[in-house]
């Protein structure tokens, strides 16, 4: 098993069936409880252990989740209020290196919980035409996608880097499960 992808790499389709949407929304809804359970009882030394050699620490992973998911939530709001907005990419590695990613994980767990409650509610309010609305991700333009990061190649964006709300939902449902599995696999390997 590749420790980078404990549940396998993401494969994102252009649209989700109603059942796939329900499953993805359930994954978003339950992530805060699942990640909180995954880190329950860990000491500071354990939180500061990388989930794999050369990888982030458990603490950085926990802080990364609300950072990443808040960016996705804002992207969704932009999609719903602007015609095909071009989003601003961010450097997850640089953010993970900031001092707040070394602190207490409780504020990040609380942020994730509130964020996901609002995000699931917003997704639940969408009309059929809204699901097809798109944003443009400059790192997903075809010419850049081939040489970009692994995550960029997982998207099924068109040649212009368009991503719709089904794709966004599927991505972040996978993303939460992906990082929860990093922590659970580490605990299993270490006998924690």
- Is 64 marked as a binding-site residue? yes
Q: Which pair of tokens denotes residue 181?
A: 């599995």
Q: Which residues pair with 136 in a beta bridge?
A: 86, 162
- Is 182 marked as a binding-site residue? no
- Is 69 marked as a binding-site residue? no
Q: 55, exposed or middle or buried, with CB in 10 Å at 0-12, 13-18, 19+?
A: middle
Other Cβ atoms within 10 Å of 143 Cβ, number: 9
Question: CA torsion sign, 5 to 10 to 16 to 21?
Answer: positive
Known binding-site residues equal 64, 175, 179
Known binding-site residues for Zn(2+) equal 64, 175, 179
């Amino acid at each position: 098993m590749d420790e980078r992808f404990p549940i396998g790499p993401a494969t994102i389709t252009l649209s989700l069936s109603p059942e796939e949407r329900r499953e993805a929304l359930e994954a978003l809804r339950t992530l805060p409880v699942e990640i909180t359970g995954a880190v329950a009882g860990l000491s500071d030394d354990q939180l500061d252990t990388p989930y794999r050699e050369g990888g982030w620490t458990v603490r950085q992973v926990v802080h990364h989740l609300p950072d990443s998911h808040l960016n996705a939530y804002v992207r969704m709001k932009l999609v719903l209020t602007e015609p095909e907005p071009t989003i601003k990419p961010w450097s997850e590695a640089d953010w993970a290196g900031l001092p707040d990613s070394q602190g207490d994980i409780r504020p990040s767990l609380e942020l994730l919980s509130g964020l996901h409650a609002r995000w699931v509610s917003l997704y639940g309010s969408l009309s059929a035409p809204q699901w097809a609305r798109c944003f443009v991700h400059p790192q997903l333009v075809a010419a850049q996608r081939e040489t970009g990061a692994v995550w960029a190649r997982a998207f099924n964006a068109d040649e212009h880097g368009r991503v719709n709300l089904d794709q966004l939902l599927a991505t972040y449902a996978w993303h939460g499960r992906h990082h929860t599995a990093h922590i659970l696999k580490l605990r299993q390997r270490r006998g924690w």
